[in-house]
Structure 1
Amino acid sequence: MKPLTRRLGIVSATAAVALLAALAIVHPLGAASSLQPPMMDHAMPGSDQMQGMMQHHQQMMHDQGTMQMDDQGPMQMGLSTPTMPGQDAFGAIQEIVRMLEADPETDWSKINLEALRQHLIDMNEVTLKANASPTPIDGGLQIDITGDNLTSAAIQRMVPAHAEELNQMNGWSARTEVLPDGVRLTVTSNDPKEVAHIRGLGFIGLLVSGSHHQPHHLAMAKNEMPHQH
């Protein structure tokens, strides 16, 4: 009996030591876990809430100009559609159309956008294709503005009408003389500073002077112009 009792004592002592060691390990872990803040019980978002969160995230990415991809390649950063009209006359007419459509008083029975288009064709001919030969004269500048075919006809429609506008600016005196292939424009002033101004502007500078072009285009589209050029 004594050997059996001794063995049981040894087993009991060993078990007691193992239990104490386990308690020593578990207790620090429990103490550490008690120092951590309690976990918040968050419910998982539903499908509608999750979809809203995804849409919000996508909008944020779009607003930050993130590159989006489609089947045809990368889209322009930060833009959903292009903004440039691609052609200046097209853009000018588009702007007038938007103004007309935004005005509830627009009388569409009187609108003449074709007249505006023809005027813009003339502007293109005169601006880009005309030949200009300036000659300084006493008190200002004389310019022979000429061209071939459509260009000369556009010059003869545009330049005399624009000379009327120049006559109302800066104390200038402007007059025109019709040439076989264009127009001779003469602009003078009694003010020496304006003489230098006129000569410095030259043909294209005098052509773009004034702020009447844009209102002129709108009035032309509304068919309110006594003349169309």
Structure 2
Amino acid sequence: MFRLVTATILALAAPFATQAQHADHSAGMTHGAAPATLTEPGQGAFAALSEVVQLLESDPHTDWSRVDLDGLRAHLVDMDLLATRAQVETDAIDGGLTARATGDARVLAALRRMVPAHAKQLAADPSWTVAVEARDDHVVLTVTADDAATTARIRGLGFFGLMASQDHHRAHHLAIARGEMPH
């Protein structure tokens, strides 16, 4: 009799234990309405892709024949390689800095795609002058200004801060995902 009661209790409790485990697993997985704008600027490729997918799916005007999430993923991989694996030497020069960035073949390829494209975004800021050179084994970014405050800002930002500045990344990611050529 004791075995029968124990087996019955266990059989009745099993679905509740499974529900409790699933409830714990899904606690952080709420799926609300898509945000009006993107909030994921780069790192966290899956989060950025997920956010873009939600936005595209909520837009009735999305042209699915042009959507290029593989292209966005490739760009996010480039961003990750630049941010985490590039080796950068920075020198203070009159009015700013020169940064030489390099890495293995994948990192160097990412630098060659990312730095010239982002230099165009940086150049849109009239407070500084931007130059970029892609060489055989590295990429050189030079940013200078005529005033001391902007020079201090350039040096404070350094290579990685400059690459992250000019907050165009969310719009850029959405344009890539939509199959547009943003640079």
Task: Classify the TM-score, shorter chain.
Answer: 0.7 to 0.9
How far apart, CA to CA, are the structure 1 residues paired with 2:77 and 2:102? Answer: 16
The answer on whether the counterparts of 1:153 and 1:182 sit within 8 Å (CA) in structure 2 is no
The answer on whether the counterparts of 2:172 and 2:182 sit within 8 Å (CA) in structure 1 is no
Q: Select 1:177's aligned residue among 122, 133, 143.
A: 133
How far apart, CA to CA, are the structure 2 residues paired with 1:80 and 1:171? Answer: 47
Task: Check if 1:70 corresponds to 2:17.
Answer: yes
SS of aligned partner of 2:29: coil
Q: What are the residue-to-residue correspondences of 1:40-51 with 2, within 5 Å?
A: none
Task: Check if 1:94 corresponds to 2:34.
Answer: no
Q: CA deviation at 1:81?
A: 4.8
Q: Select 2:121's aligned residue among 153, 161, 165.
A: 165
How far apart, CA to CA, are the structure 1 residues paired with 2:58 and 2:20? Answer: 35
Residue deviations 1:124-163 (CA, integer Å, cap 9, x gap): 1111000010000011000001111100010011001101
Task: Check if 1:82 corresponds to 2:82.
Answer: no
The answer on whether the counterparts of 2:87 and 2:101 sit within 8 Å (CA) in structure 1 is yes
SS of aligned partner of 1:108: coil
SS of aligned partner of 1:185: strand
Unpaired stretches in structure 2, ≥5 consecutive residues? 1-15, 31-42
Greater Rg by CA:
1
Task: Check if 1:122 corresponds to 2:78.
Answer: yes
Residue type of the partner of 1:221?
A: A
Q: CA deviation at 1:226?
A: 5.2
Query: Which segments of structure 1 move beyond 2 Å, counting only runs of 4 or more?
Result: 69-77, 79-83
SS of aligned partner of 1:70: helix
Residue deviations 1:177-223 (CA, integer Å, cap 9, x gap): 11222200000011210000000111111110011010000001111
- Give the aligned length: 156
Q: CA deviation at 1:119?
A: 0.5
If asked which structure has higher relative contact order (CA below 8 Å, sep 6+), I would say 2
How far apart, CA to CA, are the structure 2 residues paired with 1:80 and 1:125? Answer: 32
The alignment yields a C-alpha RMSD, in angstroms, of: 2.2
How far apart, CA to CA, are the structure 1 residues paired with 2:169 and 2:27? Answer: 32
SS of aligned partner of 2:181: coil
Residue type of the partner of 2:100?
A: D
TM-score, normalized by length of structure 2? 0.78
Task: Check if 1:110 corresponds to 2:66.
Answer: yes
How far apart, CA to CA, are the structure 2 residues paired with 1:170 and 1:195? Answer: 13
- Identical pairs, percent: 46
Residue type of the partner of 1:190?
A: D
Unpaired stretches in structure 1, ≥5 consecutive residues? 1-68
